[in-house]
Structure 1
Amino acid sequence: MLMLLSAIGACQPANNDDESSVDLVPSNDLSAFAATDVQRAEILATVQGVFDALGGDADKLSEVMMPDVTMRSNNIEEDGTVTSSTSTVEGLRDRIVSSGSTMVERMFDSQVMVSGPIATVWTPYDFYTGGEFSHCGIDVVTLLHTQEGWRIMSLDWSRQQPPDCQLHPDGPPQGR
């Protein structure tokens, strides 16, 4: 026990009187990963491509998603349990084609981060089916920059109801 106490006592902070020493302080500054204006526009256009596909253009999915994209919907049930379900590009395409009503998803206040060939988008959204509000939540999208441009590798989202999520600041979609 004495050996343990003396070993702990020997672990003293380094003397920082030397100006060349570096203080390691955790930082929340992510500005180094902020997308350029061009990257932001390209990345958000790719994500918007999924929303355009939901409006009836199912072929758009293959233009913006990797073939092996992972998609997961995450819900908090009334009893507080969290449920998740996965879907495939083919399943989403089938849903779009067979849907008898128009789906509208709108993102806003999007945060885009880039590091080399990888980007993430964290964005609130609201979702309407056949002109009726369905749900809102957060989309989290991971993209890879390929020779063809930005492509979605994964898409995860929460499905909630206000006040647990925000509606688009422009109000309901017009003309839907």
Structure 2
Amino acid sequence: MSSAFSQTSEEDKVKQTIIDFFDAFHKQDTVRLKSMAKGNINMQSISSNKEGKTRLDVNDYYGFIKNIAGIPKDKTFEEKLLDFNIKIDGKMANAWTPYEFWFNGNFSHCGVNSFQLIKEDDNWKIIYLVDSRRRQGCKALSKG
């Protein structure tokens, strides 16, 4: 029974790491964002171009942080996480988080984030992040 409790506790820690990441993201807190990843990790985004062909964009984490810091303070942005599906094996975790992205109060796109994390000491750190981005099939579109 204690191992099930321990697993749930680790899932809570991973979930809190992702929540903290988005809190820092929304506040444009570059120092905190840098502390949450294991160095200058790879980030990828999967989307479709205007012709409908699959597109893969590759960025580094420090470039991402620089872009976040450069968003003017009069602009608002929010990534709303819709769910968490967390899997853990020892010191490795995956968090699958469907989301909606809003910019200046308007729906922009939806997709899923897939975070890969490593546990060092008692902290979970992001080691890889890939997301999908689309405008079709989003729940927010049907609300409007």
Question: Aligned-residue CA RMSD in angstroms?
Answer: 2.0
Match of 1:88 in 2: 60
- For the residues of structure 2 that align with 1:59 and 1:134, how far apart are their CA atoms? 27
Q: Quick one: which of 119, 123, 129 aligns to 1:149?
A: 123
1:124–1:137 CA contact under 8 A, matched in 2: yes
- For the residues of structure 1 that align with 2:12 and 2:62, how far apart are their CA atoms? 27
- For the residues of structure 2 that align with 1:102 and 1:50, how far apart are their CA atoms? 17
Superposition misfits of 4+ residues, deviation over 3 angstroms: none
1:40–1:112 CA contact under 8 A, matched in 2: yes
The 5 Å alignment of 1:83-122 reads 83-100=55-72, 101-122=75-96
The 5 Å alignment of 1:23-34 reads none
1:124–1:139 CA contact under 8 A, matched in 2: yes
How far apart are residue 148 of structure 1 and its match?
5.1
Equivalent residues, number: 134
Any unmatched runs of 5+ in structure 1? 1-34
SS at match of 2:47: strand
* Equivalent position amino acid for 1:156 in 2: V
- For the residues of structure 2 that align with 1:166 and 1:141, how far apart are their CA atoms? 22
SS at match of 1:36: helix
Match of 2:11 in 1: 40
Q: Scaled by the length of structure 1, what TM-score is found?
A: 0.69
SS at match of 2:67: helix
* Equivalent position amino acid for 1:37 in 2: T
The 5 Å alignment of 1:10-25 reads none
* Structure richer in helix, relative to its length: 2
Larger Rg: 1
Any unmatched runs of 5+ in structure 2? 1-5
- For the residues of structure 2 that align with 1:152 and 1:145, how far apart are their CA atoms? 9
2:40–2:62 CA contact under 8 A, matched in 1: no
Q: Scaled by the length of structure 2, what TM-score is found?
A: 0.83
